[in-house]
Amino acid sequence: MGLYPPPYGGISIMVSNLFNALKRENASLLLFNTRASRNTRKHGSFFYRLIRFFTLFVEILTKINSFDILYIHTPSGTSFIFVACLWIWLGKLLGKRVAVTYHGARGARFLPRLGRFGAFFLRLADRVSTPSAHLDKYFARYKITNALVIPNFLEESIFKCDTREKATPNLLNVIKRGGRGQNTGTLLNIFRGIKKKLPDATLTLIGYTPEKERFLKLVKGWGLEGVDFKGPVPYPEMPGIYQQADIFINIPEFESFGLTIVEALLSGLPVIATAVGGVPQVLEHGEGGFMVDKSALIEISKYVIELTEKPEFYNQTARKALKRGKQFTWKQTRERYYRLLAG
């Protein structure tokens, strides 16, 4: 059970990918979609979530004899308290094996605040997983010994890699989490400097940010050409977006895993990313991409210019990117998921 698309986001993509992968292996599955409605803004209130909880509760009770394992995908934040904890408790009360995957960029800050309360429910589950190891300190402190680190994975056939010989460069950035902590303004300023060295460079920004108008005014005031705020793009169109790019840039203040980084790698795109949260688990410096400290984002320019001015270096990095991306497919993570669910 968990969020299921549409709309698309990190958790819903993973729930969909895992459901499809297990279904291909002839697993007997029931999908309980915890999303109240496609119109998440309208139905995001406590009232609608409460209705959805009771609806799901009735649905689960009517199908209680049809499953043995209750597998919960939970975001970080208040949803963990008001949704996941209840489902963990009810699952055990109903005599089911309970597995939990804890997602979310706020986990490293949120779970430690819950202390023993959060630890109690995580220990109550039979197995817990998290996409990256940034919660290890919390798990160790509260003796949560039933936890596994299982990286997120993508469908390799969706994100395909064409031969990449050189960069223009066409830079791509995906704005996530409603624009919070994404360093978009800083990236625009860095791109401003890149344009002085590489006049043909372009920057495409995908996703929603409430500060779009302010950023557009900055771009206009600077006389900066080549910036395209596309806004939200339907997820099925994203593989095509990656194919049109040369270099992927991902520089948020925090990243729990970095699923968009994997999308870029599987598309054969060199990646430049901040070394925060779970990113070092996904991206190895010099092996398909480069990590920069969040206090030294100006280094982005150095890597963009080097990749552009040295076609052979770009080509080698692109090949390494694809090789790295293939580590985050179902084939590579399958056994860990079976361990989570079975034992």
Output the pLDDT for position 165: 80
Domains of the chain in sequence order: 10-153+330-342 (3.40.50), 170-325 (3.40.50.2000)
pLDDT lower than 70: segments of the chain: 36-46, 105, 343
**Token pair 């300190």 in the structure block, residue:** 137
Omega of the bond leading into 252 within 30 degrees of 0 (cis): no
Output the pLDDT for position 105: 67
In which region does residue 162 sit, left (phi positive, over 0), alpha (psi from -120 to 50) or beta (all else)?
A: beta
Output the pLDDT for position 179: 79
Output the pLDDT for position 45: 66
Residue 48's SS3 state is helix
Output the pLDDT for position 44: 56
Output the pLDDT for position 300: 96
Output the pLDDT for position 343: 65
Output the pLDDT for position 255: 86
Task: Name residue 289's amino acid.
Answer: G
Per-residue pLDDT reduced to its tens digit, 122-151: 999 999 999 988 887 788 888 899 999 999
Q: What's this model's pTM, rounded to 2 decimal places?
A: 0.90
Output the pLDDT for position 244: 92
